[in-house]
Amino acid sequence: MRSDIILREKILSAGRSILEKRLVQSTGGNISARTERGFLITPSGIEYDKILHQDLVELDMEGRVIEGTRNPSVERELHRIILAKRADVNAVIHTHSIYVTSVASARLPLEPITDNQVAVFGGTVPLAKYGPTGSLKPAQTAAEALGSDGCGVLLANHGAICTGKTLAEALLRCEMLETFARIFILAKIAGGGVPLTEEEISFESGFIKESYGQRC
């Protein structure tokens, strides 16, 4: 029971963070976290700073409500399908941040024009094809674009999704994705921006894995 309360509080905290950091507007976006029985997800149409523990809804991996009286997010299929396909993912955050949504609305993948993007996302952040909100299509195309090891995807004309082993990791990736999208747009304005080559991406990825951070 204590672990359930802690997880619920982490979801609420992440919700307040994406609102404060302007990664969403009003009640847009949604957050989920894996549980032993399925996953917890934010409710539909309630402002993040007003959501309470009991407002979160727990679903099983078939999409059936296990616990909760609120209507779950209309985009619950995005979360369900990603969590079902990716055992390594424990948290999914969907945002509508300004720069990310601008790139997604241009229907462009986010090419890596900085080595920092390679460090966080491994290279290009792919673009998932457009599908009506709440339908299976955006959920399926997002999961397909993420593949077996991706941690971020743009949703055409909509926003983005970031995943993580923890909510904190997914939230950090959402913040960084917005930063990289902003750099991408400003670089285009400044003269184009030059994406890293595959060789440069490969070198950066290898170097970061071998040399960056601390070792246990």
Active site positions, annotated: 75
CB neighbourhood size of 95 (10 A): 26
Q: How far apart are CA 160 and CA 174, in angstroms?
A: 8
Strand partners, 152: 162
Reference 62, options 38, 40, 82; nearest CA is: 38
- How many DSSP H helices and E strands does the chain contain? 7, 8
Q: Count of alpha carbons within 13 Å of 93, Cβ hemisphere only?
A: 30
Q: How many residues does the chain have?
A: 216
**Token pair listed for 87:** 């055992």
What contacts 156, CB < 8 A, 6 or more positions away?
Answer: 104, 105, 107, 127, 128, 129, 130
